[in-house]
Amino acid sequence: MEKYIKAIREKICSICVDSSEEGECTLTNQEICAVENYLPKIIEIIHGSNGDNFDEIYSKLREDICEECYAKSEDGECYLREDKNCSLDRYFPLIIEVVQKVDAGKL
C-alpha cells in the first residue's frame, strides 16, 4: 500500500487544488481527502476491472465508494461532486494511471 500512497502523493496531491504551492495538503481536521480515505478500495476497484475500460472502472467507483460517502444526501445527490469539489471524482483518471504505473513498476 505504501508504494501507492507515495505515488499518489507525488503525482496527485502535488497538483491538487487543496494543496499549497509547496504541495502540502491544506485540508483541515474537519475535512477528509476522499482519495486517501478510500485508497485501498480504489485500488481494489482498479485491480478488479478491465484496466482499459475507464467507464467500467468509473461506474464501479460510483457504485462502491460514492454510495458510502458522507457527502451523499438522502436523495442520492452529492454536493461535493455537484460543486466539482470531490477530489476523487476530479482526479480519478489520473489515479487510475498512477495505480497502473505503480503496478507496472514505472513509479
Q: Compute CA distances 107 → 45, 77, 91, 97, whole Å.
A: 20, 35, 18, 11
Query: What pLDDT was estimated at residue 27?
Result: 87
Per residue of the chain (107 residues), give pLDDT as tens: 999 999 999 999 989 998 888 878 898 888 778 898 899 999 999 999 876 788 899 889 888 988 888 777 778 777 877 887 888 888 999 999 999 999 999 98
Query: What pLDDT was estimated at residue 51?
Result: 67
Query: What pLDDT was estimated at residue 47?
Result: 93
Number of domains in the chain: 1
In the chain, what is the straight-line distance between the N-terminal and C-terminal CA atoms, in Å? 13
Query: What pLDDT was estimated at residue 80?
Result: 79
Cα–Cα distance, 47 to 50 (Å, whole number): 8
Reading the block at residue 99, the C-alpha cell is 495505480
Domain of 56, in residue numbers: 2-103
Query: What pLDDT was estimated at residue 99?
Result: 94
